[in-house]
Structure 1
Amino acid sequence: MEQDSSAIPLASGVVTRQIKVGGIPVTYHDAGRTEAGHPPIVLVHGSSGSTQGHFGFLFPMLAVRHRVISIDLANPVKPDEALEIEHIEEQVLAVMDDAAPGQKVTLLGFSLGAVVAASAAARYPDRIANLVLLAGWVKTDLKQTLFNRVWHALRKTNSPQLDDYTIYAAFGSPFLSSKTFADLAGGAAMPLDDFVDKQMELNSRVDISDLVPQIRATTLVIACTHDTMVPVHHCRALFGMIEDARYVEVVSGHAVVFERPAEVLRLVDNFARDPLAYPAGSIIPEIKP
């Protein structure tokens, strides 16, 4: 992992740094302070995301009481190469080495980021003390495959309906029932580029079944009750396969970081401050909206 770090202030209390991983510039943002006995929190966004895109609320609010490090993933592969979990994992580990050398962390991943976080926790148990898996999954199933097939077909033809399809799948029905097209215009659908295409292709063939049972980190699994992209049975599988896991459902679609960011903040803040508040195997009561 080649690293060349330079600090660039982003805003008051937030520092943005850039390192090179395999020759590719990777940016991360660092804010807040580590409290005694509490590891820093590292955030890994999902497909098409970024710190601003997926953690625009969670990152600064967590930083009020925690040190938070959030990664903006970069495309590490050539146009004719496939993206693998290990490529993203390498960037996550490089940022951890640069920002918190020698420290264990609380690693939070959202969507594809949760898949990467689970893989990293299994493969590098000495690096990750606590783990938050938000809307993650173990193995892509037929429902997810069908979603991805239609997404790629619409993407290939540059269909204007791709935004509609993505919004339909990402948000829960109760959330959408309270919105109009005007409410969602200009920001609800994912940005599109070659890296997003590769992330979506990777989503279609995820299988970390052999790794998940090896996870020893104290884990919180957060599922979304109205999730179409990653239905709740996937999160329940994670919960059942991880020895030291507790589980909670949030009343939301897959885009929980937009629909219910305050609820995610409450759950992550409480877990980061006291990971053992609920014993392994606990199902944490959900809060109704």
Structure 2
Amino acid sequence: MEVPDGLEVISAAAAEAPRRPGVYLFLGEADDILYVGKATDVRQRLRQHAAAKPSDYWLDQKYVLVRRIVWELAADEEAAFWREEELIFALGPAHNAQRRRDGDPATARRSPYLTVIQDQHDRLRFVLTPTLPTAGRGYGCFPHLGKGHGAPLGIACSDGYTALLRLLWAASGEGTQVPATLARSAPDEYAVTVEPALREPLHQFLSGARAKLPTELLDRAANRPAFQQTGLRKDLALARLFYRAGPQRLRERRLRHGRRAGPIDPDTLRALIRAEITAVLDPVG
């Protein structure tokens, strides 16, 4: 039987694809997943692939091996971009630049847990750990939280998490200048005073059950100098984004799949995401 040309497969898929945001997957001979992409317009993006002139070995192999293309639509561009990162994490397609750059997606560095520990000075210490924490309260895993993430979901998680820490610092009344640790994205460790009344709201926020904490922190930081208020208002928006990208997203996934409350390990999270995409990958469906 004649083997179909990969670019012809892509061109045929482009003719059928909708003009909506979403993710698309290139599949190989055995339905192995070669590549995951995202688009604000799936049809237009596939047309661009079909018209490409491969100039290096990697691109040539990606197109030559394509035998089938499927897609999953998204509510908007942000949802499509976030979904792409999740699928790369869960499926590990060999021809994605992110997959090739980061190496094995199963590495613990890419699946951090957040641990909150009360120290001997009654402060809370926030620690990003590669394994399930044995002390304090653990949250996650959040595979897109940590240093070095440059794609939209990773930026939302990592920069938004740091913004949350800055709001906690501002509400604490400690110091006059933002600590240097909080000038970079997703510090591995940070300790700050958190008043007792805020500790349960903090737990609810990190569990994805209640989103109001950043607003409450900004209110408590009202006595900070005026020159800091503009930055803190930006941090409010970023911390809300972290909530949606991290804690809330994980909680919604747990509830959708009937998982109990508490941290989820990376392998389980991958399995849940793979289960969600099964209907798209099923040629019968």
Bigger helix fraction: 2
TM bucket, shorter chain? under 0.3
Q: TM-score, with normalisation over the residues of structure 2?
A: 0.25
Bigger strand fraction: 1
Q: TM-score, with normalisation over the residues of structure 1?
A: 0.25
